Amino acid sequence: MTREHGVDPFDDDAAAPERAARLVRTAAAPEDRITLTDEQEAIASLAPGHNAVLVLGAPGTGRTTVAVEYAARRIEAGLDPESLLLLAPSRDAAARLRDALTRRLAAAGRGTRAVTPVRTWSSYAFDLLRRARVTGPLRHLEVAPRLLTGAEQDTVIAELLEGYAAGLAAAPDWPADVAPAVEARGFRREVRELVDRMSELGLEPGRLQELGTAHGRPEWEAAAVLLQDYRDRIDLGMAEAFDAAGLLSAAVRVLTERHPEDPERDAAAQAFVAAERDRLAVLVVEDLHEATPAVHDLLTVLGRGRDVLLTASPDTTVEGFRGARPDLLARYPGVLDPDPVPGAAPPASPDGRVRVLTRGHRMRAEVQDAYLRVARRVRQRTAGVERTRTETVPADGDGAVRAHVVPTRAHEDQLVLERVLRVHHEDGVPLDRILVVARSGSRVAALARHLEAEGVPVLRDAAGLVLKEEPAVAPLLTLVDAAGALAEDPEARVEDVLDPDEVVGLLTGRYGMASALHVRRLRQDLLAAERGRGGRRTSDALLAAALLDPSLAGPEHERHRALRRVHWMLRDGLEAARAPSASPETVLWALWSASGRAERWRSLALRPAEHANDRRESRRADADLDAVVALFKVAERFVDQFPGASPESFAVYMESQDLPVDTLARRAESGDAVHVRTPAAAAGQEWDTVIVVGLQEGVWPNTRLRGQLLGATDLVDLVTLPADAPWPTDHRTRLREVRQDELRMLAAAVSRARRQVVVTAVRSPDEGPSDFLDLVDPPERLPAEARDAAGVRRLTAVPDPITASALVGRLRRVLEAGDEADAADGATSRAAAAAGLAVLAEDGVTVADPRRWWGLLPLSTEAALVDPEREVVALSPSRVETALRNPLNWVLYHVGANAGGTLAQSVGTLVHSVAEHHPEGVPEDVRAELERRLPELGLPEGWITEIEHDRARGLVDAYIGYWSIARAAGRRPVAQEVRLLADLTWGGTTVRITGVVDRLEADAQGRPFIADLKTGRSAPTGAEMARQPQLAAYQVAVRAGGLEQVRDDPATDPALRAALAGLEHPTTPAGAALVQLGAGTQKTKVQDQPALEDEDTWALEQVFTAARRTTGPRFLALHEAGARRCALPSVCPLCSEGRQVTEWPR
């Protein structure tokens, strides 16, 4: 991996500043010249001196073809490519334009040109600033200009807001309707929106404050303070950095500003501008409808008096949310007319310089009709753009448009999968000619994951991926941080810098590759070796320590491979971090080299994919390599920006990046793969089949007003609209504008298709389709059987998708039909099914291989979870009752196989936490704490939320009431959430009781009393309380010295040690109680258990009986009268839902 300084951050193929020599793409094979229509020919053959010409056309009418042909003919006529500039809105669009021009010139025998005239708008602006630093007015910049990424911008804003909250700087005086939102994560998005719009407009914070005062917008006055601090931070630490929005306005300033205060700089600026104007003779601008006001300003400066060809399709704008203004097309071409020259002829009438393409070459008739139904709803805010919709002639051939409504999101995912596979297998459409479009990046990611899980190769837009979340990147960042911290503090231990979840993540991630079973066995090996040495460290501490010292696990074993892999990485990373020249790059390289993944993943990515598994592994390796390369690019930029920064600071920097990190690192091209994208990412391309997903009310169209909290949209209108134009600040006008943007995105999505469009939505009691669905495929087009009596579209029955797993399922069912099928036909069917499964297994479909079917192989192990004769049996008091009543439930809870947490449990957890922080139960303090933390439940507004909040308040009131009861009984609080640890030995078995006491109190004699807070509604009977297992286990642990052990542990918090030291009889329990906060009674219900006496051996017997039932390898399924429902009924033989893994659900 090499360093490439000075590379344009917007253009993959931009030339380095020297422009001496560079690598260029291999020229595409020459193609036959395209035959142009008469209207295209008239544009492509425009004679020099035509001034500005605007070409309007619907998608697929050949705008790009005309632009490329025009540029090629000007070059063939002798125009120096250096004098030609082609501009496109995005990097992908520029790459496609560049490739098309290269092919066109190659077809004419002119070969590949070393200097490309194609750039994005931002790329040209960046290149202009870079050259202005070398020879122009920006020579005062000490460092070459660079791009400030959106992720970096977000980090700076987050740091400023955190500084205000911590009192490190004077906070802006936000108005009352804005102040509550400042701490919300979405507030940063609003600030970024305002920053971008101000950068585009070239506004300074002082001007924003003036506008806020003049127009009664206090949020602008407050935001001006934040934005000034933002500018100061950028100027102080990153003076050479320009955000993407500000590049364009900065370029305009370079081309227009004078510097009378500095004659030398002014002369350099005038010479630079003159040279640039002399250099550029012809401009070709693609997709002008995606341009922001800043782009229009730049084009006005560059294009006035030049030959300019502009293409646009104002009905398919997809960058409206980034400030695109298709309404500004009304200014063209007149805005580019040269300044009047005395005696010179005026330019041709603008009417003759607006050309319209009316012949479609992409959309078949039915697809075009759907597009037109959407496009006709789009209305330009400013008149003057000629309409062309009704005149476009569709392409030849058949097309199809279908809408489907399904009952759930899961059904929608399956429908997409089924459509993709059916179009591919039955219609013969290659996968890379299929596009799936979703409104949001999160929905794109979910659909891509679903398709990939079913074995369908997917190509996603890399711009939406958050680098730190990539599976190949997250472990590297964790290790960079750990290596840096360990190098900085020689006394630090691995367990001090890595938490248990991070350690397990390293072992089971893309570098360790361990399974959960391997980690469990490794823990057992570590504990056995530790006990053999007489140590008492926990498995979490041992697991972390073993990353630097694998010998802690004892003799090397096959199951230690993951540990050794991560050990080698951390060892080499630590060595690199300790080197005098250490940097994030050197540490990252040491980790990557030690991983040994480079060659392995490379070979997988390039290996011929003969089987389904090979294809999945190849795609995974491809994506991993792409992510790692991108990480190195970011690390390189970080080191350049922050020389001398530590490895930990890079890890913190990456962790703070909540937005996708832009990088020039190339991602591998995928061949036959379905494209899953947002409308913006799909712009400018075409596919045979397009599936538009999620036309839900409130989702598409998403009519949430953007930039309204800080008034970014109002600011743009105030600055850009003519003085006599109305200022559209009312809510209804804004909603109409947003809906227009949503319509344009839908029109763009539909118009990507050549032959077939499928649109989908969910209809359920909670959500329904938007009117966009019927706009694409009106109900009156449906056959009678597809509508109900009211004329409403019926739900689509989703067929089984044509996937390997579904096929295997059907074939296995045939095999298991047995006597249920006709004897002769059944025998034949089973033979065919067996043959089909064999073919699939040979092709690498693992689920078709009987050797992998659950239930047909012998048990993988019959070893017990714990050998009670050799190992300590760990037991939690809270699970003693479960182990006694239903051992199967215990093991399911133990391995995390129970159902997920409920809302009631979340409320209970919150109340426990509130009680922990208020042991004295002072009513005002406890209630205030609860109200402050209720938002942590994350519930939406509504009556259900109010019910849950009221329930939490009732639980807190019961807790307050309990403290009065405890005081009346003569008890005082000692501590909350007290760890308890005690070893008990009986009959050759050692049981370790580990648990946490909700509330520890002391009676008048200094004896410990245990109170366990219960927030549920069920409670044991009075008779059951005498021997209630959980409280009995707590008391047994106390009698065994459990509190003394915690008190004497040096790792125990000093305050807790002092509190426990105040117990006069720490091994003599005063009893225990269940405090039923959720009983719903007027008075807090307290269920006491008497103190254990020496003769109460029943409690000890309970503990050891429960321990024996948890060792395995077999676990009893017991159903007692009144017992709780099973944790996982589907695996319980006593439950009606229970079945063997070899049984199919009927």
For the chain, what is the mean pLDDT?
Answer: 82
Q: How much is the pLDDT for 619? A: 76
Cα separation values, 684 from 61, 312, 390, 397, 1022, Å: 12, 11, 21, 22, 74
pLDDT in tens, 881-918: 889 988 998 888 887 776 655 677 778 888 888 888 88
Share of the chain above pLDDT 70, in %: 86
Cα–Cα distance between 314 and 450 in angstroms, integer?
34
* Residue of 1000, 1023, 1129 whose CA lies nearest to 1075: 1000
- Which residue bears the tokens 């959407």? 374
For the ranges 371-385, 720-734, 941-955, 1107-1121, the lowest mean pLDDT is seen at 720-734
| Whole-angstrom distance, CA of residue 517 vs CA of residue 520 | 5
Longest distance between any two alpha carbons in the chain, whole Å: 120
pLDDT at 408: 92
pLDDT in tens, 219-273: 889 889 988 988 888 877 777 777 777 788 888 888 888 878 888 888 888 888 8
**Residues pairing with 756 in the sheet:** 400, 689
Region of poorest pLDDT, from 87-91, 519-523, 834-838, 1140-1144: 1140-1144
Q: How many CB atoms lie within 10 A of CB 612?
A: 17
Helices marked H in 770-822 — which ranges?
771-776, 804-815
Interhelix angle for 150-165 vs 218-237, to 10°?
Answer: 110
DSSP 987: T
- The pLDDT, as a whole number, for residue 462 is 57
Sign of the Cα torsion 368, 371, 373, 378 reads: negative
Q: Which of 612-621, 633-642, 730-739, 1064-1073 is most confident? A: 1064-1073
What is the rounded distance in angstroms from the CA atom of residue 525 to the CA atom of residue 539?
Answer: 9
Q: Answer whether 1128's CB lies under 8 Å from 897's CB.
A: yes
Coil, strand or helix at 1054:
helix
Q: How confident is the model at residue 1003 (pLDDT cuts 50, 70, 90)?
A: very high
More confident residue, 882 or 110: 882
Q: Provide the phi-psi class of 562: left if phi over 0, else alpha when psi is between -120 and 50, else beta.
A: alpha
Closest CA to 592 of 623, 547, 561, 625: 625
Q: Which comes out higher in pLDDT, residue 186 or 698? A: 698
* Each residue's pLDDT tens digit, 790-845: 778 889 888 878 777 788 888 888 887 654 444 444 455 788 888 888 988 887 78
The pLDDT value recorded for residue 841 is 86
In angstroms, what CA-CA distances link 869 with 141, 435, 989, 991, 1115?
75, 61, 6, 11, 18
Secondary structure class of 638 (helix, strand, coil): helix
What are the binding residues? 57-64
Q: Which has the minimum average pLDDT: 329-338, 340-349, 917-926, 980-989?
A: 340-349
Q: Is the pLDDT of residue 1075 over 90?
A: yes
The answer, yes or no, to whether residue 768 has pLDDT greater than 80, is: yes
In terms of pTM, does the model score above 0.75?
Answer: no
Q: Tokens for 486, please give them.
A: 């360990």
Question: What b/e readout covers 615-628, taking b as 16+ CB neighbours within 10 angstroms?
Answer: bbbbbbbbbbbbbb
Average pLDDT score over residue span 544-557: 85
pLDDT at 762 over 70: yes
Instruction: Please compute, for residue 111, the number of CA atoms within 13 A of its CA located in the half-sphere on the CB side.
Output: 4
Q: What SS3 class is residue 733? A: helix
pLDDT value of residue 19: 32
In the predicted model, what is the mean pLDDT of residues 1035-1040? 94
Check pLDDT > 50 for residue 8: no
Three-state secondary structure call for residue 1073? strand
pLDDT-derived band at 382 (thresholds 50, 70, 90) equals very low
Are residues 678 and 461 in contact, defined by beta-carbon separation less than 8 angstroms? yes
Residues 6+ apart with CB under 8 A from 1048: none
Phi, psi of 764 (to 5 degrees): -145, 175
User: Binding site for ATP, residues?
Assistant: 57-64
